[in-house]
Structure 1
Amino acid sequence: MSTSTRGSTSTSTSTSTGSTSDGKNGTMNGTTGGTLDTITTKVGRRPRLSGMTWLIWRQHRAAFWTILAGTALAAAWIVYQRGQLVDFLDGYGYPGKSLAEAGGTFQQYVDAFSVVSMGLQAIPILLGVFLGAPLVAGDLENGTAKLVAAQSTSRTRWLGTKLALAGLVVVVSTGALSAVFGWWWNPVKSEAMVVMDWTSAQAFNTTGPVPVALSLFSVFGGVAIGVVLRRTLPAMVVTFGFTVVLQLVWGYFLLSLGNVVTVTTDKGVTGGNESPSLPHGAYEIDQSFVTGSGDLLGWGTCSNSQTEAARQVCLDKADVVGWSVRYLPLSQMNAMQWFGAAILFALTAGVVAFLFFWGRKRLL
């Protein structure tokens, strides 16, 4: 009797459960016919990092979040400054009126450009020293790299994930700052004599693709230095020197990225025959005298003459017939930036290739 009752009870329970279960320990939803467990999983599912990506992000989350937060704050301040600048220009009557006549009223905006530009120029150095150098050197120094290698994950995947996440953060942050700074500067971009010369590091290295390229090369160069030295502090010191030298070398070759335009005259160089006028915003590289035979003489030729008549005699004797001016037009700026960035991207790719080659052989 007891057994029979237990059996009937069991059968009843099984039947009841069968009406509310899909046979996979889930509970049926009478309306949709799906299981509540499945529906809850679908509703609660969010895109999130996992595996090696999550591990690397968590390990360096303080640095990554600091960079992204600093970028957001700086971008917001630049956007505000841009609004102030546009309001001033509209009230002043630009471009109908020259900014050279604005005096001290406009100087505060010029000072703001200079301060922000200096900060942006320092970003590749800071990222290289504080993000690139410790990225792998820290793991090599404290033994974390050996722990990772003891797991099922390959060293190549571990290194690749580190480089990918760091590169992504660098591209997002520097790309955003480059975009908003260029947007801020654009209304007065052609005012080289008043605001910023577009060929200077202040403008050229802080707009377009150049900040991204410089920062990536600095960061991955710092990673390579850290991998070779295997100690965090020495790697940071050497990376600082590397990034500073990089900035100096880059500045030295900057003007060679463009195609120099030459304009000449043949009506003499005295009286009303002044040197030829250049397009607005053009950067003058040099100015020379040109002789009848096409030779170039320094513009200081005959400057020691005591009188204008004596100078004219000297110029006639040297067969000076006009001016020769070499310059870079403002219209070449974008092409020069992309050409230079392409060189830096290629160098960065070489550093990455070295890192993977070294990683397979001697990373640990």
Structure 2
Amino acid sequence: MSAVTGTPVTTGTGVPAARRLRLGGMTWLVWRQHRAAFLTVLGASVLLLVWIVFQRAGLIDFLTGYGWPTNDLADLGPEFEPYAAAFAPVSTALGLIPVVLGVFVGAPLLAGDLEHGTAKLVAAQSATRTRWLATKLGLTALVLTVSTVALSLAFGWWWAPVKEETTVLDWTSGTAFDTTGPMLVALTLFTVVCGVAIGVVLRRTLTAMVVTFVFAVAAQLAWGQARLALGDVVTVTTNRGVVAENSFPVLPDAAYQIDQSYLTGSGELLGWSTCVQSETEQARELCLKQADVVGWSVDYLPISQMAGMQWLGAAILFALTAAVAAFLFLWGRKRLV
């Protein structure tokens, strides 16, 4: 409806424009304001999804010709290397998504409005600041969730046939752990919402982007150090000595070994470097015997724990994201403009 005459505004087809819009009110306003960023995210996600589907098709064709799943993939020769190498650039790109979106979507989301005075204009309208903030965060979270869920599922689908091949990806590394399951979604939402909070506090777009970049990199590094703590360490011991053939315990496929120690008859653990300075093999065996070493003690994480670790980590990140969002709403009620 025209604001001047009160007559309905129609399109070339004669249908009132308001009836043709799928978004309305505050949602339409936020979409229009940030549609370039949203469409860029969605478009880049589609391109990456197409590439993943293409790569998986090639991988499955190769594995089928090799005799998968009947034949053991451990015997794959050099011809498999190009297919294994294809994972690295894609996993790296996925790992950068939280940082990139935190800087270019999260930090400017409200900082730009605060810096240029748009927030004051919005606050002067009938819509409340809480509704404006909720729409901004909600629509942004929806776009990012759709994109990252699709990418995470597609990458996990591609990786699944060779998941237990550590030469392809180490499941405990960020290139695999943080790009599959719920982790990519959780890390992205956490970084973006933190970027929004940084922008609200600093109220300057460029400054907020720089600080968000530093924060996102630091958060990724800290998360990398804490990732393994999400699992329950499994310990396996032996009592067949440590120098005999096949004395070392057999670990499950793709298990991540955390530590290994010598086990004594009294149950004490000694470092694996014990007696390593012995000049001869006979001297080493005598040294181990004198130390009462009877076998190995090995700590590891099985790949079967990966999904549980991811969901636990995602739950922690979702809780932190909710806490930051709550801060934004509390801040926004009094100091947003």
TM-score (norm 2): 0.93
| 1:208-247 mapped onto 2 (5 Å cutoff) | 208-247=181-220
2:275 corresponds to: 302
Task: Tell me the CA shift for residue 110 of structure 1.
Answer: 1.6
The Cα offsets for residues 130-155 of structure 1, whole Å up to 9 and x where unpaired, read as 00000000000000000000111111
2:103 paired with 1:129: yes
2:241 corresponds to: 268
Task: Tell me the CA shift for residue 46 of structure 1.
Answer: 5.1
2:135 corresponds to: 161
| 1:302-341 mapped onto 2 (5 Å cutoff) | 302-341=275-314
CA separation in 2, counterparts of 1:195 and 1:100?
11
Task: Tell me the CA shift for residue 293 of structure 1.
Answer: 1.3
1:86 corresponds to: 60
Structure number with larger C-alpha Rg: 1
Task: Tell me the CA shift for residue 103 of structure 1.
Answer: 3.4
The gaps in structure 2 that reach 5 residues or longer are: 1-13
The gaps in structure 1 that reach 5 residues or longer are: 1-39
More divergent stretch after superposition (291-300 vs 45-54): 45-54
Q: Is the 8 A contact 1:123 1:215 kept in 2?
A: yes
Amino acid at match of 1:54: W
CA separation in 2, counterparts of 1:232 and 1:157?
22
Q: Is the 8 A contact 1:137 1:227 kept in 2?
A: yes
Task: Tell me the CA shift for residue 280 of structure 1.
Answer: 1.2
Q: Is the 8 A contact 2:256 2:302 kept in 1?
A: yes
Structure 2 counterpart SS, 1:289: strand
Structure 1 counterpart SS, 2:103: helix
Equivalent pairs, count: 323
Q: Is the 8 A contact 1:99 1:106 kept in 2?
A: no
2:117 paired with 1:143: yes
Identify which of 126, 129, 145 aligns with 1:171: 145
CA separation in 2, counterparts of 1:54 and 1:328?
48
CA separation in 1, counterparts of 2:94 and 2:137?
22
Task: Tell me the CA shift for residue 273 of structure 1.
Answer: 4.8
The Cα offsets for residues 224-267 of structure 1, whole Å up to 9 and x where unpaired, read as 00000000000000000010011001100100100010000112
Task: Tell me the CA shift for residue 45 of structure 1.
Answer: 4.9
Q: Is the 8 A contact 2:238 2:247 kept in 1?
A: no
| 1:340-351 mapped onto 2 (5 Å cutoff) | 340-351=313-324
Note closer, same or farther for the CA distance 1:139–1:45 as it changes in structure 2 (3 Å cut): closer
Amino acid at match of 2:106: G
Structure 1 counterpart SS, 2:91: helix
Amino acid at match of 1:182: G
CA separation in 2, counterparts of 1:362 and 1:146?
11
Task: Tell me the CA shift for residue 98 of structure 1.
Answer: 4.4
More divergent stretch after superposition (277-286 vs 254-263): 277-286
Percentage of matched positions with identical amino acids: 65
2:156 paired with 1:182: yes
Provide the aligned C-alpha RMSD in A: 1.5
CA separation in 2, counterparts of 1:244 and 1:182?
24
Task: Tell me the CA shift for residue 271 of structure 1.
Answer: 1.8
2:92 corresponds to: 118
Structure 2 counterpart SS, 1:263: strand
| 1:7-46 mapped onto 2 (5 Å cutoff) | 45=19
